[in-house]
Amino acid sequence: MRTSLIFLMILLGLCIVQLRAQDVVFQQELKGEVFPIGHLLRWQTSYEVPGIQFVLEQSTDGLNFNELTRMQGQGNASIQNDYQFLAPDVVETLNYYRVRVERNKQPVASSAILALRNTMTNQFAILRYSDILPITTFDVEVQGRARGMLNWQIRHLQQDVEDHGEWLMDVGVNDYQVDLSHLPEGPYQLALQFGEERETLTIRKVSEATLRTMTAGSDPLPNNQR
């Protein structure tokens, strides 16, 4: 038993020496999370020498990798260092990632390869939008995960007034604008639909005079719905 323990300690020591010879010790290997807008990649190191770079790479077949980004190492020899990167617009179902460590432009070591399956069913997601108290136009930014026509409908919540149309959606970030100039003031629901997937936002069209006189909390809006 004692001999086995000594052997294990020696083996562990050799592994640490070998990793340190490669300039980096990974405390946490590359990990990832799947989100509607992309893949969030994280890793940690507990040992680094100065002057290294981390090169995050992506592949769709696990063999041929393309560079996503480069990060300068923090160079702290015995302090935990955290790194992360969001890979946007991930369309393929299965994706592979790895972190390559370089020093003086020469490959030194690579992390284990991480496979992430794109299981999210969302075909689009609302990233951001302009003020929910628009006067004449309302801007919305949509992350598309498929190509096709995105249908929109805006409906007054207190009157029988509505408008609708469609936008061409591409994979990636899409910027759209709804013209409200011909619509009366009041609360509206803006609905975006792609196939069976539907997202809604609640906004209120106001005039310039109304906007100037409104105070925070005096005219609450209904909650946005998804």
CATH of domain 124-213: 2.60.40.10
Question: Whole-angstrom Cα distance, residue 97 to residue 112?
Answer: 9
Question: Whole-angstrom Cα distance, residue 49 to residue 220?
Answer: 55
Q: Is 63 helix (H, G, I), strand (E, B) or coil?
A: coil
CATH of domain 23-117: 2.60.40.10
Question: Whole-angstrom Cα distance, residue 211 to residue 64?
Answer: 55
pLDDT of residue 15: 39
**Domain coordinates of the chain in residue numbers?**
23-117, 124-213
Look-up of token digits 């260092």? 81
Question: Whole-angstrom Cα distance, residue 148 to residue 142?
Answer: 13
pLDDT of residue 142: 93
Question: Whole-angstrom Cα distance, residue 164 to residue 225?
Answer: 19
The reply to whether domains 23-117 and 124-213 share a CATH topology is yes
Angle at 155 between CA 149 and CA 160, to 5 degrees: 135
Residues of the chain by 3-state class (helix, strand, coil), percent to 5: 10, 55, 35
Distances in Å between the Cα of 150 and the Cα atoms of 1, 147, 154, 155 are 67, 9, 13, 17
Among 14, 17, 107, residue whose Cα is nearest residue 53: 107
Spell out the per-residue pLDDT of the chain, length 226, in tens. 444 444 434 443 433 334 444 577 777 789 999 887 789 999 988 888 788 889 999 998 888 899 999 988 887 667 788 899 998 877 777 899 999 888 876 666 778 889 988 765 678 888 889 888 899 999 999 988 889 999 999 999 999 999 999 999 998 899 999 999 999 999 999 999 998 889 999 999 998 887 777 654 444 444 444 4
- β partners of residue 76: none
67 Cβ contact list (under 8 Å, min separation 6): 55, 56, 57
Beta strands in 78-225 (DSSP E): 81-88, 94-103, 106-110, 114-117, 124-129, 137-144, 148-156, 162-169, 172-179, 186-194, 197-205
